[in-house]
Structure 1
Amino acid sequence: MSSQDDDNLVPTQTEGYKVSEKKGIDELNKLDADDPSLIKWKESLGLAHAKERFPDDKRTVVVQALVFQSADRTIRMDVSTPEAVEKLRGAPIVIKEGVDYTFKIEFVVQREVVSGLKFLQSIKRHHITLEKMEEMCGSYGPKYENQEKTFAPAKAPSGMLARGLYNVKSKFVDDDNCAYLEWEWSMEIKKDWA
């Protein structure tokens, strides 16, 4: 992997911003324990009784799927296990040229609050980067259910020269640059969905 490939998925840094010290759930629950409004807010985040959905999985953020959505199609790309990611790498998804679409990421946060989640994506064709995306997802407390973030709408390229195979590299990171998942996949732009 070249250093140019690495640079494509490095989140931007805000000059002077320092990531705050991480605190565990128990420590957060004890802070301001005498303030009823803060207690209520913490309960709304699920800090008091968050169950682990994947107790054997040591990751704090478990990415479940990347979902392509258009008016005509929804394509759910399973990335929940290394086997699913590998299977996705070998099978390009087909996208109709010129279609308006969005991406949505589904994930589970467990054990602690995660701050500053970001989704990074680089799309290349013939080793040339055509598009680079960095979407801020936000901060999340632990929750048993899937959490999700839908990104800004985009339009698939169209025309004879736009048709073909595109290589995509995606990454899900937090403020500490902890990468919860980094994977490669491909999409094929065609005249129609088949």
Structure 2
Amino acid sequence: MSSEQDDDFAPSQTTGYKPGEKKTLDEYKSLDANDESLNKWKESLGLHKATGPSDDPRRVVILQLALEVEGRPDVVLDLSTPDALEKVKDQPFVIKEGVSYRMKVKFRVQHDVVAGLKYLQVIKRKGIRVDKTEEMIGSYGPNAEPYEKKFQVEEAPSGMLARGHYDAKSKFIDDDNFTHIEWAWVRIL
């Protein structure tokens, strides 16, 4: 990745926020084992059931990325397999100029707790960055059932100069691990 791309994907830092110490799933399970309310909280995170295939080391598995526009069916990009991930580069979303839209992601957490999962998206047109989105997704425990997160509603650019093809690169970051997705984001008509 070039230095410019590294700058594009540098997450912002919240002043005064310091992430907690990383703990393993076993450490969370044994933490204050006699505290009933803490045990209920740990159960809600799914800490008593590690999931995921042993040959897949990923903690966060992105299953789908979708575009939600009121009045039409969602446009869904299947990201569940490496082949599907490769195909999304050639499947742009198509939306009308000035329309309100929302991105959403469906993902699964496996093997361990994920703390502070963030979503970063950089949109470029003709190689020039026109938008950068950064949103905190949250912390999740391992679960066989996927989670879904809807992002803030945004408005597509409008006007003759805004019409055209935009490229997007997305990154889902947890701790030092990340999943990088490159896709042909949107064509505005």
TM-score normalised according to structure 2 size: 0.92
| Aligned-pair identity (%) | 53
Farther-moved stretch of structure 1 (20-29 vs 116-125): 20-29
Question: Who is 1:30 aligned against?
Answer: 30
1:3-48 per-position Cα deviation (integer Å, ceiling 9, x unaligned): 1122111111235544333222222111111111111211121111
From 181, 184, 193, the counterpart of 2:182: 184
CA distance in 1, matches of 2:53, 2:188: 36
Map of 2:138 onto structure 1: 138
Secondary structure of the residue that 1:43 maps to in structure 2?
A: helix
Distance 2:157 2:170 in 1: 19
Q: Does 1:56 align with 2:74?
A: no
Secondary structure of 1:4 counterpart: helix
CA–CA distance in structure 1, aligned partners of residues 164 and 23 of structure 2: 47
Distance in 1 between residues matched to 2:167 and 2:144, nearest whole Å: 33
Residue equivalent to 1:20: 20
Q: Could you tell me which residue of structure 2 aligns to residue 7 of structure 1?
A: 7
Within-5 A mapping of 1:58-137: 58-71=57-70, 72-137=72-137
Distance in 2 between residues matched to 1:134 and 1:114, nearest whole Å = 17
Tell me how far apart the structure 2 counterparts of residues 66 and 34 of structure 1 sit (CA, whole Å). 40
Deviation (angstroms), 1:130: 0.6
Kindly indicate whether the alpha-carbon contact (under 8 Å) linking 2:49 and 2:142 is maintained by their aligned counterparts in 1. no
Distance 2:100 2:16 in 1: 37
Supply the AA of the counterpart residue of 1:82: P
Distance 1:146 1:160 in 2: 40
Please list the CA deviations of residues 28-76 of structure 1 after superposition, one character each: whole Å capped at 9, or x if unmatched: 11111111111121112111124x2444311011111111001123111
Question: For structure 1, which segment, 165-174 or 1-10, has the greater mean C-alpha deviation from structure 2 after superposition?
Answer: 1-10
Give the SS at the match of 2:160. Answer: coil
Cα separation, 2, equivalents of 1:129 and 1:27? 42
Q: Return the alpha-carbon distance in structure 2 between the equivalents of residues 184 and 39 of structure 1.
A: 40
Aligned mates of 1:92, 1:30 — CA distance in 2:
47
Q: How far apart are residue 110 of structure 1 and its match?
A: 1.0
**What is the rounded CA distance, in whole Å, between the counterparts of 1:183 and 1:2 in structure 2?**
16
Residue of structure 2 equivalent to 1:45? 45
Letter in structure 1 aligned against 2:127: H
CA distance in 1, matches of 2:23, 2:80: 26
Q: Which runs of 5+ in 1 are unaligned?
A: none
> Which segments of structure 1 move beyond 6 Å, counting only runs of 4 or more?
none
Matched AA of 1:37? S
C-alpha distance 99-127 of structure 1, shift in aligned 2 (>3 A): same
Q: Aligned partners of 1:138 and 1:3: how far apart in 2? A: 28
2: distance between equivalents of 1:140 and 1:15? 23
